[in-house]
């Protein structure tokens, strides 16, 4: 008998929440229904990972021991679900099948075929929360705000101002990749933490000087500032690029020229580099 399936006989009504995954949905549905009754003595017991007819049979055997027992099931595997339904019918055990009718109904309004894989909803939720976590990480460790994030990141982006570090970090975050980014400025030495990170996790972003000149001038105009400021001077740009290139050479990290690349294109290149370096982030 599967571990945890044997339960003590109870005089109270019992609902078995049966699932071929962890059983959260079946239990929540059962609880939502039981609160409609004044009696608080209805027990709900979860039976997770019922993935074959042998375990389904054990559920029925346990249910038969109780005078007042019902089954609520969220099983997507057809053969297991049908077996459980049939055996419950044979033994006069009330059963509510949640997933079967839903899958059948949805199948009538779409040409797509159901995957019939247990636990898909949970995996989708996990992917969503990983994405949220990565976005929060990108915001927290944007623009070198906290150098402690460099060691925690899946990818560290370095480069001069206006090389798309922040947009890239946010784009990659939606791919569930935790990214920290750090601006390279001649007057400010990079934090020591940068040189403690594996060069395989660091990506240097470079850009054509003329392209950067145009971007910075437009940026100043958008801010209502004088386009002739030092920030957008070619002399300053060349100095910054030379300094950034020296840092990247010292680290020995791969570099990407973002001059004529869209964020999506650069992000794809970053993912390609990381996968090639076999960093286990995806």
In the annotated binding site, the residues are 159-166
- Are residues 85 and 59 in contact, defined by beta-carbon separation less than 8 angstroms? no
CA atoms within 13 A on the CB side of 145: 9
Count of beta carbons in the 10 Å neighbourhood of residue 227: 12
Show the tokens assigned to 155: 């990818």
Q: Give backbone dihedrals phi and psi of 266, rounded to 5 degrees, phi first.
A: -65, -40
* Residue list for the binding site for ADP: 159-166
Distance CA 159, CA 258 (A): 10
CA distances from residue 271 to 11, 45, 137, 139, 278 in whole angstroms, order as listed: 59, 44, 18, 20, 10
- Are residues 16 and 48 in contact, defined by beta-carbon separation less than 8 angstroms? no
């Amino acid at each position: 008998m599967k571990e945890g399936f044997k339960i003590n006989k109870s005089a109270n009504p019992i609902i078995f929440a049966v699932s071929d995954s962890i059983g959260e949905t079946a239990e929540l549905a059962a609880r939502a229904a039981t609160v409609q009754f004044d009696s608080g003595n209805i027990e709900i017991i979860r039976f997770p990972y019922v993935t074959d007819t042998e375990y389904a049979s054990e559920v029925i055997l346990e249910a038969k021991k109780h005078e007042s027992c019902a089954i609520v099931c969220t099983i997507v595997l057809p053969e297991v679900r049908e077996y459980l339904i049939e055996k419950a019918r044979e033994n006069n055990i009330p059963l509510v099948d949640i997933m079967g009718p839903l899958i059948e109904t949805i199948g009538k309004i779409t040409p797509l075929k159901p995957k019939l894989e247990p636990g898909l909803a949970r995996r989708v939720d996990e992917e969503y929360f990983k994405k949220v976590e990565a976005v929060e990480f990108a915001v927290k460790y944007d623009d070198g705000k906290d150098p402690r994030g460099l060691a925690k990141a899946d990818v560290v982006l370095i480069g001069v101002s206006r090389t798309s570090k922040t947009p890239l970090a946010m784009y990659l975050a939606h791919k569930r990749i935790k990214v920290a980014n750090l601006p390279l400025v001649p007057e400010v030495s990079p934090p020591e933490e940068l040189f403690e990170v594996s060069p395989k996790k660091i990506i240097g972003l470079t850009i054509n000087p003329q392209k950067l000149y145009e971007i910075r001038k437009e940026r100043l105009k958008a801010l209502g500032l004088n386009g002739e400021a030092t920030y957008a001077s070619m002399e300053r740009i060349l100095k910054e690029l030379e300094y950034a290139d020296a840092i990247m050479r010292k680290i020995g990290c791969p570099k990407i020229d973002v001059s004529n690349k869209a964020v999506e294109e650069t992000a794809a290149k970053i993912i390609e580099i990381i996968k090639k370096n076999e960093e286990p982030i995806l």
